């Protein structure tokens, strides 16, 4: 027991002696080295913390500003959406410009000034073009396309006639671009042998002036020009326009399409197989 113990204790004693020696020796050795590392580490951590603090401050600031930027964007796009929706509502219900909410005044100005009207007009015309590119009229000449010449073809008449605005007189360039866009469609339709009839809400009494305006605006050819007779002067626009469509149908014409920038031309019976609502500048007079 003893011998076994002693040898064990000797062994363990030697072990522990060796161990303690190692610990003591290495402890002394390590501590001076560790001190250097410790100080270096402290300095490094300090520098790192400072860097982190600066980085966080900068990030927080940029985050704050970009966050408020996003917030602004959301708010203005909300307002844009609202004003677009209201503009659609106004068109649908034939509202007057002064019924537009005040917060949309700036929006409506920008619709014209920043070129959105032109872009939308171009896009709506492209939709019509791509539809008609797949269609051909029959040879009897009875497939008719009805085009509204108010507002789009005759910008200046629309504005002179109503309570409005002279941007079209001032902005010849805009009128020129509108003319390029719609005459491109008109020329394509006429080249494909569609019978393109124009219609306007104006009285037949203004026939000569209207023809002169159409010609000077560059729209020289049409299959027929539909204007209000004296009997129709008191009718609602939609009633007069749809009445004329019914007359055409009774005469054997097939209405392929009604193309207009105004809702009142796209209501009532005898619409075309496919109709096109072009972008309208009319509700953007401020
Ligand atoms: C439209 O108004 C302008 C000036 O405001 C005038 O010069 C022009 O003759 C008018 N056009 C028509 C068709 O009345
Ligand atoms: C309309 O769109 C076509 C095709 O994208 C383009 O070539 C043309 O320049 C545009 N016209 C205007 C006036 O923006
Ligand atoms: C319209 O023009 C025709 C000739 O083209 C003329 O006979 C007629 O009197 C004119 N009408 C008006 C209202 O000016």
What six digits make up the tokens of 129? 């073009």
Q: How many degrees, rounded to 5, is the angle at CA 141 between CA 207 and CA 136?
A: 115
Pocket of ligand 2 contains residue 147 by CB under 6 Å: no
Residue 145 clears pLDDT 60, i.e. is over it: yes
What is the residue with the minimal CA distance to atom 1 of ligand 1? 160
- What is the C-alpha separation between 275 and 127, in angstroms, rounded? 11
pLDDT for 73 equals: 55
Least confident among 53-62, 125-134, 181-190, 254-263: 53-62
- Residue 158: per-residue pLDDT: 44
Two tokens at 141?
A: 């000449």
pLDDT band at 130 (very low <50, low <70, confident <90, very high): very high
160-199 pLDDT per residue, tens: 444 344 444 556 777 788 889 999 999 999 999 999 999 9
Task: Convert the pLDDT of each residue in 212-223 to its tens digit.
Answer: 888 888 888 899
Q: Closest ligand 2 atom to the C-alpha of 119?
A: 14
Q: Is the CB–ligand 2 distance for residue 124 below 6 Å?
A: no
CB of 122 within 6 A of ligand 2: the answer is yes
280 lines ligand 2 (CB under 6 A): no
- Burial class of 39 by CB neighbour count within 10 A (0 to 12, 13 to 18, 19+): exposed
**Residue 25 pLDDT level (bands cut at 50, 70, 90):** low
**Average of per-residue pLDDT across 139-152:** 91
Instruction: Answer whether residue 157 shows pLDDT above 60.
Output: no
Q: Which ligand is nearest to the CA of 211?
A: 3
The better pLDDT of the pair 278, 283 is held by 278
pLDDT digits (tens, 9 = 90+) for 235-247: 999 999 999 999 9
Measured by CA distance, the residue closest to atom 13 of ligand 1 is 157
* Shortest-distance atom of ligand 1 to CA 161: 14
Does the beta carbon of 119 lie inside 6 Å of ligand 1?
Answer: no
Which of 52-56, 59-63, 231-235, 270-274 shows the lowest per-residue confidence on average (mean pLDDT)?
Answer: 59-63
Q: Is 169 in the pocket of ligand 1 (CB under 6 A)?
A: yes
Higher pLDDT, 195 or 156: 195
Span(s) in the chain for CATH 3.40.50.1000: 115-281
Pocket mutation for ligand 1, best pick of 153, 160, 165, 215 (most atoms within 8 Å of C-beta): 160
Q: Which residue has the higher pLDDT, 13 or 135?
A: 135
Which of 115, 123, 181 is the best mutation target for the ligand 2 pocket, counting ligand atoms within 8 Å of the beta carbon and taking the most? Answer: 181
Ligand 1 center from residue 31 Cα (angstroms): 98
Q: Is 145 in the pocket of ligand 2 (CB under 6 A)?
A: no
Question: What pLDDT score was predicted for residue 204?
Answer: 93
Q: What spacing in Å lies between the alpha carbon of 218 and ligand 1's midpoint?
A: 17
Percent of the chain with pLDDT over 90: 38
The sign of the dihedral angle between the CA atoms of 175, 176, 179, 180 is negative
231 band by pLDDT with thresholds 50, 70 and 90: very high
Measure the CA–CA gap between 262 and 268, rounded to whole angstroms.
13
**Highest mean predicted confidence (pLDDT) among 1-5, 46-50, 109-113, 205-209:** 205-209
Ligand 3 centre distance from Cα of residue 240 (Å): 24
pLDDT exceeds cutoff 60 at 5: no
Q: Over 90: is that where the pLDDT of 154 sits?
A: no
d(CA 100, CA 254): 38
Residue 7 has pLDDT above 80, yes or no: no
What's the pLDDT score for residue 260?
Answer: 94
Which residues make beta-bridge pairs with 197?
Answer: 146, 224
> Taking the domain 115-281, which CATH number applies?
3.40.50.1000
Residue 114 has pLDDT above 70, yes or no: yes
Q: Is the CB of 180 under 6 A from ligand 2?
A: yes
């Amino acid at each position: 027991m003893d011998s076994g113990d002693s040898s064990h204790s000797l062994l363990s004693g030697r072990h522990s002696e060796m161990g303690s020696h190692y610990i003591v020796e290495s402890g002394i050795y390590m501590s001076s080295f560790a001190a250097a590392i410790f100080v270096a580490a402290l300095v490094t951590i300090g520098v790192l913390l400072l860097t982190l603090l600066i980085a966080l401050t900068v990030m927080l600031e940029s985050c704050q500003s970009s966050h408020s930027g996003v917030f602004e964007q959301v708010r203005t796009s909300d307002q844009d959406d609202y004003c677009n929706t209201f503009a659609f509502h106004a068109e649908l219900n034939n509202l007057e410009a002064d019924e537009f909410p005040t917060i949309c005044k700036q929006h409506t100005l920008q619709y014209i000034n920043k070129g959105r009207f032109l872009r939308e007009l171009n896009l709506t015309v492209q939709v019509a073009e791509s539809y008609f590119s797949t269609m051909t009229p029959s040879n009897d000449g009875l497939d008719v396309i009805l085009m509204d010449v108010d507002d789009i073809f005759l910008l200046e008449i629309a504005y002179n006639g109503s309570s409005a605005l002279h941007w079209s007189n001032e902005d010849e360039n805009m009128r020129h671009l509108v003319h390029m866009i719609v005459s491109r469609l008109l020329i394509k339709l006429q080249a494909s042998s569609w019978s393109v009839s124009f219609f306007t809400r104006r009285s037949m009494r203004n026939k000569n002036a209207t023809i002169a305006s159409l010609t000077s605006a560059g729209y020289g050819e049409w299959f027929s020009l539909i204007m209000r007779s004296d009997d129709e002067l008191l009718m609602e626009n939609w009633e007069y326009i749809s009445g004329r469509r019914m007359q055409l149908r009774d005469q054997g014409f097939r209405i392929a399409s009604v193309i207009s920038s105004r809702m009142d031309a796209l209501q009532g019976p005898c619409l075309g197989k496919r109709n096109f609502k072009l972008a309208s500048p009319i509700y953007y007079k401020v």
